[in-house]
Amino acid sequence: MVTNFDSLTVLDEVPSGGAPAADAVEEAGFGCLETVRGGLPLRRLGVNGRITGLLYRLAVAQEFVNVCAEPLEATYIFPLPARAGVTRFRLRVGERVVEGVLKERGAAREEYDQAIREGHRAAIAEEERPEVFTVRAGNIPPGEAVGVELELAGPLTFADGEATFRFPLVVAPRYIPGMALDGPAVGQGAAWDTDAVPDASRISPPMLLPGQPNPVYLTFRMELDPAGLALADLRASLHALRLHRAEGDLRVVELMPGAERLDRDFILRFQVGDTGVCGGLSLYRDPDGETTALLTVVPPTLPASLQPRDVVVLLDRSGSMEGWKMAAARRAAGRLLDALTERDRFGVLLFDDQIEEPAPSAGRLVAATDRNRFRAVEFLARVEARGGTEIAPALTRALRYFPHPPAAGRERILLFVTDGQVGNEDQLLRQVQQHARHCRIFAVGIDRAVNASLLERLAGYGGGHCDLVESEDRLDEVLRAVHRRLGAPLLTDVRLEPALEDVAPDMVDLFPGVPVRLGGRLRGPLPAQVTVTARAADGQPFRQMLTPKETPDSAVRTLWARARVLDLEHRFAADPRREPGLADRITAFSLRYGVLCRFTAFVAVDRSETVNPGGEVLQVTQAVEPPAERAMPMAACAPSPAPRSGERTLGCITGSMAMLDLSEPEADSFEAPAFARRSLPAALPSPPPGSGSDGIGGRPKRSIARQPTPPKSLPSWFVDLETALNAPVLDQSEQLDVLRGAVLELEALGETAAGLVKEGRELIQRLESGQVESGAMRKRFRAWLKRIRKLLESPPGDKRRWSWWK
């Protein structure tokens, strides 16, 4: 079939290159770096790939050069598509190529560190988050360049007849909640490690100053093979692109060399048509004789659910939303509220590092009358960005809007509008998995470099859907789609007969216009036909017969393996104690199927020669671009964290060098690699601790003694809890309400409150059973309250560090 597009539409052009802004230094925050072109180790980034139907394969090449007078170790924190599986890693030195080996993460790090000590060139690739990765290339001699290459395969997203290829190019600054930890950092990034995000320094690359010359030469080339689909209306998010025809139906999209910056997602969209994607089952026979199946289920034409809805709008108004994002978020929330009917009810919450609950809802669900909707939309029109991004307490408060037990005959919906730029993803997933089972979460991600992985996972766990908006031009299109899907799904409980094993993803519902893909393993002889079963919105059974087709494309196996790894990692993040040995199972699965995960790493060592006998290296972390059209306030960390003692030297360096980590290693370092480090000639003055606004994270440049922490004011939820539980006459219904709310609030505090959460649940169970004695319960309440108060009033202390690897 011949494709019918020969032109490319460019959406939302963003200026590239250019001279530094006159006020660039004044606008920058701590953690921003000024550099001259060519001073940073990353010189080139090349992406070459091929889209075949609705799957893609990519080769990502990074070239590092040492412009210093001594051997270099370059660290680069960068993004990749979350649902793509990384299956190959190579180190290239001139014409010599060293294949990377996938190993358990701790073993890979030990091999890398030993190679550096022995003076060999080496490189290691690690996953920090599903969409954030780190590459280190060490022992690069002066004047030499080395390359690392990653290969990956992933699925295109498909909705409403349109396929989307999205490739992130920058890790945006993330708000880091929690109290700062003592001791050396576990990574070489710009943010504090905290009790809520113990690996914050591994996901926070330093930022270049706004307006600096483009430091990286970017090339991007994608081949489009329609594979029998009728493709049309090709659209791109970058303006310097060219489209040309290759052999047959093949089209090639290329970035104009050197014209673009690594400051926003690369997005390519094309129409397939409502009839272009059909349900089917693709089978791939593994070399070991097993069969991997990839099931595609297309939403049928069924009547939508007409149940009344309870809708809670949770709107992010933090500092990172400033500018066009805040305007788009206001419009999105207002438009969706306006679409409600009088049978619906709604509530509105706005959050930064504080929560605001405006009238008319003001903490409760209200009827979606014309007057109430008008008042809410009128308020939203005046909302401006400010403060930090404290999602956990805001999510806790939003979930408390829904009555317990759930009201019969009403659909419960949480509409979350945000850019998702936070570091405590696992804490949020834990909240959703434990408390959002009776509501559906619909996420609208707004940013040019959005945290898509977090929002897709939140929506997936919440049984909803995620839509992304990278420009105001796309907002109306997305809102129309969200409005169609904002309710009960068309199909739930999708299954296959004969059944697949190790199905991934394991929680899938079908919404209008959004096909789903399920992967799994098929045992035994291949069936001539398979049956898809599900339950429709009206409760009626749904059945569909499919004929399996074999394919030689091993990407089917990679897509399933990556989806399975993500599901297992999410289960581990939600509660690592629930399934003992789960980390070992994930590691074994990753090694068996050759797909990188957070418990494994690729390592490549060039043992052909010793280039640095002493093993001493200069460590430089690649500074990255500020996201396009994003304000850069002072600090992306929690309000006023206590400084930690013995901090490493780190900071802003004006000139040709980026972030240098040259301090002496500490004796009690958790992961201290055996790199010889030296102190800077002179220490720079220390900046103040984080101010609580979004932007660039910082940490002091020299050691600072811990200062006494002033007494904390107790949060309002604890005051309400104490009042209810100490009342002269105990009201069991009121107690249950405040106890459930308190447990939600405690869970938002993370691991430090795990014991209190467990005890709170036990108290709830005993109250619900009705078989309790008043005096004994009062005694337990007082003891529990006392321990909560102690936790809330305690200053930040030494915390034990942990990490994903052993």
Tokens standing for residue 599: 């418990």
Distance of alpha carbon 303 from its chain centroid, rounded? 34
Report the C-alpha gap between 761 and 764 in whole angstroms.
5
pLDDT at 240: 67
Return the higher-pLDDT residue of 174 and 17.
Answer: 174
Residue 784 binned pLDDT confidence (cut-offs 50, 70, 90):
confident
Return the higher-pLDDT residue of 523 and 208.
Answer: 208
266-271 vs 251-255, strand pairing mode: unpaired
Q: What CATH superfamily is the domain 309-485?
A: von Willebrand factor, type A domain (3.40.50.410)
Residue 790 binned pLDDT confidence (cut-offs 50, 70, 90):
confident
In tens, the pLDDT along 168-218 reads 999 999 999 988 888 899 999 999 899 899 999 999 999 998 778 778 999
Tokens standing for residue 709: 């922490």
In tens, the pLDDT along 30-85 reads 455 544 444 789 999 999 999 998 899 999 999 999 999 999 999 999 999 999 99
pLDDT at 375 over 90: yes
- What one-character-per-residue DSSP string does 450-518 give? --HHHHHHHHHHTT--EEEESSHHHHHHHHHHHHHHSSS-SEEEEEEESPPEEEESS---B-TT--EEE
Each residue of 369-396: b (16+ CB within 10 Å) or e? eeebbebbbebbeebebbbbbbbbbbbb
Instruction: State what percent of residues in the chain have pLDDT above 70.
Output: 80
Residue 753 binned pLDDT confidence (cut-offs 50, 70, 90):
confident
pLDDT at 702: 29
Q: Which residues contact 755 (CB under 8 A, 6 or more apart)?
A: none
pLDDT at 683 over 80: no
**Phi, psi of 253, deg, nearest 5:** -110, 125
pLDDT at 369 over 60: yes
The residue among 368, 325, 312 whose CA lies nearest residue 486 is 312
Flag the least confident range among 23-27, 236-240, 604-608, 645-649: 645-649
Residue 588: how many other CB atoms lie within 10 Å: 14
Q: Which residues contact 202 (CB under 8 A, 6 or more apart)?
A: 77, 128, 134, 186, 187, 188, 189
Domain boundaries, the chain: 309-485, 716-793
Residue 7 binned pLDDT confidence (cut-offs 50, 70, 90):
low
pLDDT at 287 over 60: yes
The residue among 171, 255, 193, 207 whose CA lies nearest residue 33 is 207
pLDDT at 638 over 60: no
pLDDT at 365 over 90: yes
> What is the reported pTM?
0.81
> Quick check: 416 and 439 in contact, CB under 8 A?
no
**Average pLDDT in the chain:** 81
Tokens standing for residue 28: 């920058």
> Quick check: 236 and 220 in contact, CB under 8 A?
no
> Quick check: 138 and 123 in contact, CB under 8 A?
yes
Flag the least confident range among 79-93, 153-167, 374-388, 740-754: 740-754
> Quick check: 800 and 181 in contact, CB under 8 A?
no
Residue 228 is classified by DSSP as: T
Q: Which helix (H) or strand (E) holds 88?
A: strand 85-93
> Quick check: 207 and 631 in contact, CB under 8 A?
no
In tens, the pLDDT along 239-251 reads 568 888 877 778 8
CA atoms within 13 A on the CB side of 615: 11
pLDDT at 649 over 80: no
pLDDT at 730: 59
Report, in this order, helix, strand and coil percent for the chain, each rounded to 5: 25, 30, 50
pLDDT at 5: 52
pLDDT at 296 over 70: yes
Q: Which helix (H) or strand (E) holds 584?
A: helix 582-593
Residue 104: how many other CB atoms lie within 10 Å: 18
Instruction: State what percent of residues in the chain have pLDDT above 90.
Output: 46
In tens, the pLDDT along 457-515 reads 999 888 899 999 998 889 999 999 998 888 888 888 888 888 888 988 876 788 888 88
pLDDT at 412: 93
pLDDT at 565: 96
466-469 vs 440-446, strand pairing mode: parallel
